[in-house]
Chain A
């Protein structure tokens, strides 16, 4: 078998030329692709290093946070016990009075500059001794809270037999459905806000986050002219939903419950000097 059997030899020069061109094109493409792959690998590597650095920074932040938590857990628990004792000693103690007792105790451990307190502690203080009624705050699990509030809303507003004509009943039914939807929407918006806040501040305690969410939903409910009985519905039983993995927060719940009991009792009494 000769080359003549394989090919028309007159075509060889053009074939060789085409082959040469193909090689050049392919080599160029390959080089470009290799270059691109190289660049990508470098970028990937850079990103990897960056992520590693971010991880390390986060780790440091978590470590610092944990350290600060550990450093403050004793003062905080001591202060809380002081608060609890204060409530035990005087169940009608005002929030301001109670806060003062706790802050005073903390100050025994620390220079009393509020801003230099660890953020979580400040948040705990804000949460545990808020300006508004405590029952407004203790909610975290938005979905379940939403369900509870809706349940409350239905119970409070619509459990009574409807009176009037069928037209009126239909109107009420429509209004009720619309309201339910609006409340659900409010919760969705509030949850999104909560998620956003949590994203921008991952070290925010769940308690404070719950506060943000709940306040948000309250505002939204007011905006849609939700009946006051709904906005003010304070399902104390929902309190039990709030569970935190950390001992500190569990302690806070316990303390909060005590405070709520104290305030509920106080509400039935006369307002005392020093009450806000």
Chain B
């Protein structure tokens, strides 16, 4: 059970959020990088990798292992992962994003999807050249200044014991005290499901803090919506 499936399946949770949290309003953005394919999910996951690469290249961050590199892999998957590592290491040094790394991000995303959903194993390593174009366009839109931490940066953070409650929830990035979730979407709306997901992370985070006996940062969630709205709609 993932956090998403919990949210989908629990009307009580959705009501809880509706009754207790004020969903912020956003001005609808415009589509700034029109997709070339309908592989929205795959492109979104691959973009998570690219953004992570970018933030890590420009900042000092703590990070959890790539989801794609978790669990056991077949030799072909191992090859994808080790190639991606090589290219990523090179990128960390040069800061130059190229198609090879974008392609690797897509391949990692194909493995990532299988690990998360258990489906799509026949798609592993397959890259649509148009997805490369999409990702290249999205990468160019990243405003790196918005991801500059003053104190801390966590890539792909999990919520400790609380994550286990939902089979390992992981957010995209926490910068200082802001929990940021990236959505690449063609609909310029701030969907209620996004909000419910973020609140879910937030509540898991509180549970984790309680469990570890640490203070809950009160500024969490601050820039989440901002980033979502500005960068990728």
Binding site for B on A (CB under 8 A): 1-9, 11-12, 15-16, 18-20, 22-27, 30
The 5 closest A-B pairs by CB, nearest first: A19-B203, A23-B165, A26-B10, A16-B206, A22-B13
Q: Which residues of chain B come closer than 8 Å to A9, judged between CB atoms?
A: 218
Residue of chain A at shortest CB distance from B226: A1
Q: Is the CB of B222 within 8 A of A22?
A: no
Q: Is the CB of A2 within 8 A of B219?
A: yes
Q: Is the CB of A1 within 8 A of B20?
A: no
Label chain A's interface by main secondary structure: helix
Residue of A6, A16, A20, A25 near B221 (CB, 8 A) is A6
Residue of A2, A20, A22 near B218 (CB, 8 A) is A2
Q: Which residues of chain B come closer than 8 Å to A11, judged between CB atoms?
A: 20
Tell me the B57-101 residues at the A interface (CB within 8 Å).
none
Chain B: residues with Cβ within 8 Å of the partner, total of: 26
- Asked if A3 meets B22 with Cβ closer than 8 Å, knowing A20-B207, A27-B165, the reply is no
Q: Which residues of chain B come closer than 8 Å to A3, judged between CB atoms?
A: 202, 218-222
Compute how far the CA of A27 lies from the CA of B221 in the bound complex, rounded to whole angstroms: 26
Q: Is the CB of A26 within 8 A of B6?
A: yes
Kindly supply a per-residue 1/0 record for chain B positions 1-40, scoring 1 wherever the CB is within 8 Å of any chain A CB and 0 otherwise.
1000010011011001000111010000000000000000
Binding site for A on B (CB under 8 A): 1, 6, 9-10, 12-13, 16, 20-22, 24, 165-166, 202-203, 206-207, 210, 218-223, 225-226
- Asked if A2 meets B222 with Cβ closer than 8 Å, knowing A11-B20, A19-B16, the reply is yes
Q: Is the CB of B16 within 8 A of A15?
A: yes
Q: Is the CB of A30 within 8 A of B1?
A: yes
Q: Which residues of chain B come closer than 8 Å to A12, judged between CB atoms?
A: 206
Compute how far the CA of A6 lies from the CA of B222 in the bound complex, rounded to whole angstroms: 10
- Asked if A15 meets B20 with Cβ closer than 8 Å, knowing A1-B222, A1-B226, A2-B219, the reply is yes
Compute how far the CA of A12 lies from the CA of B202 in the bound complex, rounded to whole angstroms: 11
- Output the residue of B203, B210, B218 with the most chain A CB within 10 A: B203
Compute how far the CA of A6 lies from the CA of B22 in the bound complex, rounded to whole angstroms: 5
Q: Is the CB of A1 within 8 A of B1?
A: no
Residue of B16, B22, B206 near A22 (CB, 8 A) is B16
Q: Which residues of chain A come closer than 8 Å to B21, judged between CB atoms?
A: 6-7
Q: Which residues of chain A come closer than 8 Å to B13, judged between CB atoms?
A: 19, 22, 26
Q: Which residues of chain A come closer than 8 Å to B207, judged between CB atoms?
A: 16, 19-20
Q: Which residues of chain A come closer than 8 Å to B10, judged between CB atoms?
A: 22, 26
B164: min CB distance to chain A, Å: 10
Residue of chain B at shortest CB distance from A30: B1
Q: Is the CB of A1 within 8 A of B225?
A: yes
Q: Which residues of chain A come closer than 8 Å to B166, judged between CB atoms?
A: 23
